[in-house]
Amino acid sequence: MPVCTRIDVDNPYLLATFKLPQIHELAIDCSDPKFSMIWEKRIAVNANLSGLTLLHMKEWSFDGDLTPILQSLPLLERLIIRSWRGVVSFRAFLPMDAHGTSGLKQTSGDGQTLALLCPRLHTLEVEGQDPSVEPELIPTLKEIVTLRAEYGSPLKHFTFSEFWLKPGTRYEVNGMNGSFTMEKLVLPEAEAFKLDI
C-alpha cells in the first residue's frame, strides 16, 4: 500500500481529517485567521506531523503566533512562509523559557535554561515581504540569527524574497562571527516556491 509523504492542501480542515503518520513535506493554505488554533486543536492532534521536515505556509497573512505550530514540528528543517507581515510571528524563532517567554531580552548567563523550537531548522524563507520597508524588523532578525547560533541551531539560509516588482529582490540575512548583515540581491527571474507533487 502506498504511503503519503508529501501533501499540498488548501483547506486546513480537510488536512485535520486525515491520519498521516509518515508525512515529511507539507504545503498548506494558512489564510484562515484561526489557522493557529485549527493547527493546534485539530491538525496536530489528528495528523502526526512530528516527522515533518519541510513546511510551506501559503498566505500567512496576519501577524499571528507561530508557536503552536512550531511546537509540534521537532524535526522541521525548512520553513517557507508566503505573505508574512509584522514582528509577532518572528518571536517563535527566539529561545524561550519553560513558560514560553521569549528570550529576546535574556542571556544564557542569567541562570535560566532557554529552549528553541525547531532546533534542526536550517532554512527559513519569507516570501512577499521586503524587510527594508519595515525597519522595526531588523533588531528582531538580528536577535534570531545571533541567539539561535548561540544556542546551537544556526540558520544556514534566512531569506526574504519579493516577487511583486520586476525584477524581484531577495535579502539574505547572515550571522557570522557575532556580526549581522543583510545583503540585497536583484533577481531578474525570481519565482515563488511551489511544492512539486
pLDDT digits (tens, 9 = 90+) for 153-166: 878 888 887 765 55
Q: Mean pLDDT, to the nearest integer, of 6-19?
A: 82
Give 104's pLDDT tier (boundaries 50, 70, 90). very low
Q: At residue 139, does pLDDT exceed 80?
A: yes
Distance CA 77, CA 136 (A): 26
Distance CA 25, CA 139 (A): 31
For the entire predicted model, the pTM comes to 0.79
Distance CA 47, CA 17 (A): 8
Q: At residue 76, does pLDDT exceed 80?
A: yes
Better pLDDT: 101 or 62 = 62
- What are the Cα distances from residue 32, in Å, to 65, 79, 126? 13, 19, 18
pLDDT at 108: 46
| Identity at 189, one-letter amino acid code | E
pLDDT at 196: 60
Better pLDDT: 49 or 53 = 53
| Identity at 107, one-letter amino acid code | T
Largest Cα–Cα separation, the chain? 53
pLDDT at 16: 77
Q: At residue 10, does pLDDT exceed 50?
A: yes
